[in-house]
Amino acid sequence: MALSEFDLIAKYFAACGAPRADVLLGVGDDCALLHPPPKSLLALTTDTLVAGVHFAPGVDPESLGHKSLAVNLSDLAAMGAEPAWATLALTLPQADESWLEAFSRGLCQLAKTHGVRLIGGDTTRGPMSITIQAAGFVSPERVMRRSGAQPGDLIYVTGTLGDAGLALLARRGRHLPMALLPGIRRRLDWPTPRIAAGKALAGIASAAIDISDGLVGDLGHILEASGVGASLFLDLLPLGEAVADYVAATDDWSLPLAAGDDYELCLTLSADHQEQVEAIAQTLDCRLTWVGLIERAKGLRCVLPDGKRFDRLPNSYDHFRAGS
């Protein structure tokens, strides 16, 4: 027998994620009731994933559940926030139990890992789309905005860049060495929100953003909001083995510079904090790499390994740009 809307919510989403003392009332009433901590700012973010735009309709539902939450947690990480709550607006063409079971497993496992409780949502029938809103806490002195970068600041990125973009190319038919494929695919389908890095660098970083649309575009948002420019040194970009091979073979830097879906952080920090940052880097489970400098002169300059200017700067993904 087909599952009713309310059975579906009760079975897959009513007890999802980590139980939290600050949730007075979660799934089941007209609203959730919450106790935000009195001295923190509430950081709120929403992201939607649409079938055919953000994921192929047949994608593994467990990874989709993970990724739907991960992209939101990545936004919280970029503010230096500690994740707490999430809501889920789910539109499905039908109530397919094996799909729901896997999707909720991926979602709820990541929620648990980060101490997040699913506190409500909405369930409707229609073309598949997933909207999650995530909430977290950050103290006013520690929050990282896009607007705080200063000339002289160092630019750092977490993890490695371009892996998810390469996985997309592989999915569209580009040949990759077999040994490198699983790692690259994981980076596209199971992104890791850099929560620990965001929290560790909050209060030190002058600005931060998460890299969802490519480094050039996302660093560009910091530059614009801060009224500054920057130089990026391409030989410093942290590349995994597969992307490094790709760049060496093609001389094409568009993957690490402009491919989306990496969900790493890009942060700017005063050079006075460099030693402290290098010490923090040792405590993180991801790389933290110095890649460039904030400068007074507006615009982004990319410097090739041979010292020459690279001026074929690729565009980042834009949903409304012609040809996107």
**Contact residue for ligand ADP among 73, 77, 81, 88 (CB under 6 A):** 88
Query: Should residue 123 be labelled a site residue for ligand ADP when binding is judged by CB under 6 A?
Result: yes
Binding partner of residue 251 among Mg ion, ligand ADP, none, CB under 5 to 8 Å per kind? Answer: none
Binding partner of residue 123 among ligand ADP, Mg ion, none, CB under 5 to 8 Å per kind? Answer: ligand ADP
Judged on CB neighbours under 10 Å (0-12, 13-18, 19+), 125 is exposed
- How many CB atoms within 10 Å of residue 291? 22
The nearer residue to ligand ADP, 118 or 219, going by C-beta atoms, is 118
Burial per residue of 142-164, b for 16 or more beta-carbon CB atoms within 10 angstroms, e otherwise:
bbbbbebbeeebbbbbbbbbbbb
Give, in degrees to the nearest 5, the angle at Cα 196 between 258 and 235.
35
**Contact residue for ligand ADP among 17, 61, 83, 120 (CB under 6 A):** 120
**Contact residue for Mg ion among 2, 30, 179, 248 (CB under 5 A):** 30
Query: Should residue 275 be labelled a site residue for Mg ion when binding is judged by CB under 5 A?
Result: no
The nearer residue to Mg ion, 32 or 247, going by C-beta atoms, is 32
Binding partner of residue 106 among ligand ADP, Mg ion, none, CB under 5 to 8 Å per kind? Answer: none
Query: Should residue 240 be labelled a site residue for ligand ADP when binding is judged by CB under 6 A?
Result: no
Site residue total, ligand ADP (CB under 6 A) = 13
- Min dist. Cβ of residue 4 to ligand ADP (A): 11
The backbone torsions φ and ψ at residue 32, rounded to the nearest 5 degrees and listed phi first, read: -80, 150
* Interacting residues of 74 by C-beta distance below 8 A, sequence separation 6+: 191, 193, 194, 210, 212, 263, 265
In DSSP terms, which residues pair with 231 in a beta bridge? 293, 301
The nearer residue to ligand ADP, 15 or 56, going by C-beta atoms, is 15
The nearer residue to ligand ADP, 28 or 183, going by C-beta atoms, is 28
By three-state DSSP, how is residue 208 classified? Answer: strand
- How many CB atoms within 10 Å of residue 301? 17
Number of H helices, E strands in the chain: 10, 13
- Min dist. Cβ of residue 59 to ligand ADP (A): 18
**Contact residue for ligand ADP among 29, 275, 285, 311 (CB under 6 A):** 29
The nearer residue to ligand ADP, 68 or 192, going by C-beta atoms, is 68
**Contact residue for ligand ADP among 17, 23, 27, 80 (CB under 6 A):** 27
The nearer residue to Mg ion, 28 or 227, going by C-beta atoms, is 28
The backbone torsions φ and ψ at residue 33, rounded to the nearest 5 degrees and listed phi first, read: -120, 130
Q: Where are the alpha helices (DSSP H) in the chain?
A: 5-12, 61-79, 97-113, 163-171, 181-189, 195-201, 215-226, 241-250, 254-258, 274-283
- How many CB atoms within 10 Å of residue 199? 18
**Contact residue for ligand ADP among 19, 28, 37, 305 (CB under 6 A):** 28
How far CA 213 is from CA of 41, 164, 243, 278, in Å, comes to: 26, 11, 17, 26
The nearer residue to Mg ion, 28 or 305, going by C-beta atoms, is 28
Query: Should residue 70 be labelled a site residue for ligand ADP when binding is judged by CB under 6 A?
Result: no
- Which secondary-structure segment (H or E) carries 233? strand 229-233
CA distance 120 to 130: 14
**Contact residue for ligand ADP among 90, 207, 215, 266 (CB under 6 A):** 90
Q: Which one of the spans 28-36, 37-45, 170-178, 210-218 is the region binding Mg ion (CB under 5 A)?
A: 28-36
Give the footprint of ligand ADP on this chain (CB under 6 A).
9, 13, 27-30, 88, 90, 118, 120-123
Give the footprint of Mg ion on this chain (CB under 5 A).
30
